[in-house]
Amino acid sequence: MADNFDEATKKELSAFLEKEQTQAKLHSTVHNLTTMCWDKCVTSTPSTRFSRGEESCLMNCVDRFLDTSIFLVRQIQERRD
């Protein structure tokens, strides 16, 4: 089906697919983080809005997860040296 496109269109399509793939990967990460941080931060019965603590817990949860990832990579690099 995609065979009879000209070169420019093929290039455009492949750039489009790459962009969509990046976007899908981002979405999948956000899904994972949302469930992980929900389980950690939202422990009470859901009410009409998040408490201050729950909201900041969710934000901290994301940032500390990324810190953890960076920290562990650095540790592994240090140990290898």
Partner 1 sequence: MSDFFKNAISSPTDANARKEAIMTQVRTELAQANAQQLVNNMNERCYKACITKPGTSLSGSEETCLARCLDRFMDAFNIVSRTYTARITKERLEESSSSTFF
Q: Kindly list the residues in this chain that would bind partner 1 in the complex (CB under 8 A).
A: 1-6, 9, 12-13, 16-17, 20, 23-24, 26-31, 33-35, 37-39, 41-42, 45-50, 55, 58-59, 61-63, 66, 69-70, 73
**DSSP assignment string, 2-62:** -TTS-HHHHHHHHHHHHHHHHHHHHHHHHHHHHHHHHHHH--SPP-SS--HHHHHHHHHHH
Nearer to partner 1, 63 or 78 (CB): 63
Give the shortest CB-38-to-partner 1 separation in angstroms: 5
Dist. CA 35–CA 37, nearest whole Å? 6
In angstroms, what is the minimal distance from the CB of 46 to partner 1?
Answer: 4
- In the complex, the smallest distance separating the C-beta of residue 33 from partner 1, rounded to whole angstroms, is 5
Cβ atoms of 41 and 61 closer than 8 Å: yes
